[in-house]
Structure formats: C-alpha cells, structure tokens
Amino acid sequence: MSTIHKINELKKQRDAVILAHYYVNDEVQAIADYVGDSFYLSKAATNIQAKTILFCGVSFMGESAKILNPKKTVIMPDLEADCPMAHMADSAKIEQLRREYPDLAVVCYINSTAKLKTYSDVCVTSSNAVKIVKALPNQHIYFIPDENLGRYVASQVPEKHIILNEGYCHVHKDITAASVQKTKEAHPGAEILVHPECTKDVTELADYIGSTSGIIDYAEQSKAEEFIICTELGVLYELKQKNPDKRFYSAGHQQCCPDMKRITLEKVAEALEQMTNFVEMEEELRIRANRPLERMLELG
Ligand code: 13P
Ligand code: SF4
C-alpha cells in the first residue's frame, strides 16, 4: 500500500482531518485537507467536525489548535518540530513593562509558546497584526516575540508607542538586502514579495509585504510575471500551482525552515497509525492561553 493510500485509509478510521502550513514539504501540503497561513489555520481548527486534528507544522501551531479545541484530539507528526522564535521572550520583562506603563497591552505573535500567551492580552498573526494593534484602545504596546514583525507593525501604526523585543526568525533574518538586490539585478522586472519577519532593510525593498497567504494572493493578482520571494520557500508549492506561467526566484538564500521540514508523509502515516503524538497541556494553562487567542479571533 502506498503511503498516501495508507494515510487516506487511516484518516477515515481515525475520523481525522489534516491541517498543514505553507512551509511544510510539498507532498505533505498535497495530502492536507486545509493548507494556509497561521491565521487561516487557527480559524479552520475551530470549525472542524472530525474527532481528530492532525497538525502538520511546528509545536505552537498544534498547541494553538488544542487550546482553541480542547475537546478534539490533536496530534502532530513530529512533536520535536519547534519554532525557536516561539521561546524568545521573557515574563520578567513583561511584568517590568506592565509596572512602567499601566495601560500596556502585551501583543503576542502566535509564533509563541502557550506559556508566553498566558502573559499576553491578545495574539496576532502576520496577516492581522496591524489591524488588531490599531483596534486596541491601549497607547503603549509591548510586541513579543518577533522584533521584525513588531517593527513593521510600528511603521504602520505610528500613532502608538510600540516597544520591541529582541526575538527573531532565523530563516527570515538570514535573507539579506544585498542578495535581494543582486537577484533583482538579474531579474529587473520581478516584484519583491516580503514576509514581515524579514529585517527592516529587506522590507524597505519590497513591492509587497504580507503573510504567506498575502504573498500568494498578491502574486496571483499582480500583472507582473516574475517575483522574488522573501520568505520560507515552502510557499513555492502553492505559488506554482496557482500561477503555472509565472516565475518565482528565491532571494538568493536557502530559505528553509528545518523544523517545518521535519514533517514527512511517513511521519504523517505513523502518527495516524500509532495515535501517540498527542498535544496535551494542563487545563489551567490552556484556559489562560485561550484568552488572547479568542481575542485575536474576535478582533482579527
Ligand atoms: P504566516 O503563514 O502566518 O505568514 O506565518 C509565517 C510563519 O513563520 C509561520 O511559522
Ligand atoms: Fe519559526 Fe521561522 Fe520556522 Fe516560522 S519559519 S516556524 S518563524 S523558525
């Protein structure tokens, strides 16, 4: 039996649906029921009828699905797939800033541990961060953990005081302005599409800045025929499917998230067969982490 056939059989037996982020391997995206950016996937997770959610992504994604759907069984193909940035903020600093600014709102990128979410007022993703920060009544905002997304939000919401934290995504940080410019010299007609996790000098070169789905939608609607993609290159699978006649170039880097790439078809089949890789957490932690996520769904 092929691995794909096995997965389809096991899905029926386990009453499971598969959610996958655009950064996982192409063949995993191909067998998923829902593929999307972080916001789409968290919304999708709340509307699932099946008993089991198999989340193909990194741990904060599976955790968020479980926090929002405590009654569902949530499993992951590889529990070790983790986003390093999700850990890059510190509760002591949050408490210190809360003392300093009584009206502080702690805005937490969904790329964060459940524990960090419990210290936060609202979660955001790259597709709704600007909208949510604008909508908050608070003047002082502490944006965790991603400095680059925080800086991008600050540039779009200049009327607020946004305090940044020193977290980063190593995949996006490694994309340099010099190599984006070099790629542009080789393809002068190409539009530069940039994820807001990239550094400031890269976002300054952008024709478009947005989440993974924002980038995919922009490329589809644009009249341009060539694009330089400044994000993890898993997005190429969807970009090429939707735009077979357009050309896509990397920004001259590997642009590969090793954690996302841990998810393979074999591990998907194994997780469904063994039903052991459960996402679990204490109920008290779940309830506290759920508040900022629910607030994001209301405001986003
Ligand atoms: P989005 O798909 O929401 O743009 O998130 C990017 C990301 O880094 C996920 O790990
Ligand atoms: Fe984390 Fe970056 Fe990988 Fe996304 S691409 S999971 S932000 S390390």
Per-residue pLDDT of the chain (300 residues; tens, 9 = 90+): 799 999 999 999 999 999 999 999 999 999 999 999 999 999 999 999 999 999 999 999 999 999 999 999 999 999 999 999 999 999 999 999 999 999 999 999 999 999 999 999 999 999 999 999 999 999 999 999 999 999 999 999 999 999 999 999 999 999 999 999 999 999 999 999 999 999 999 999 999 999 999 999 999 999 999 999 999 999 999 999 999 999 999 998 899 999 999 999 999 999 999 999 999 999 999 999 999 999 999 998
For the CA of 83, the nearest atom of ligand 2: 1
What DSSP element (H or E) covers 230? strand 226-230
183 lines ligand 1 (CB under 6 A): no
Nearest Cα residue to atom 6 of ligand 2? 83
Task: Please give the distance, rounded to the nearest whole angstrom, from the Cα atom of residue 273 to the centre of ligand 2.
Answer: 27
Q: Which two tokens stand for residue 194?
A: 């940039």
Task: Please give the distance, rounded to the nearest whole angstrom, from the Cα atom of residue 154 to the centre of ligand 1.
Answer: 19
Spatial neighbors of 191 by CB under 8 A, at least 6 apart, are 207, 208, 219, 222, 224, 226, 227, 228
For the CA of 111, the nearest atom of ligand 2: 7
Cβ–Cβ < 8 Å for 39, 127: yes
211 lines ligand 1 (CB under 6 A): yes
125 lines ligand 1 (CB under 6 A): yes
Q: Residue 103 and residue 112: Cα distance in Å, rounded?
A: 22
Spatial neighbors of 244 by CB under 8 A, at least 6 apart, are none
pTM for the complete prediction? 0.97
Q: Residue 17 and residue 19: Cα distance in Å, rounded?
A: 7
Side chain identity at residue 185, one-letter code: E
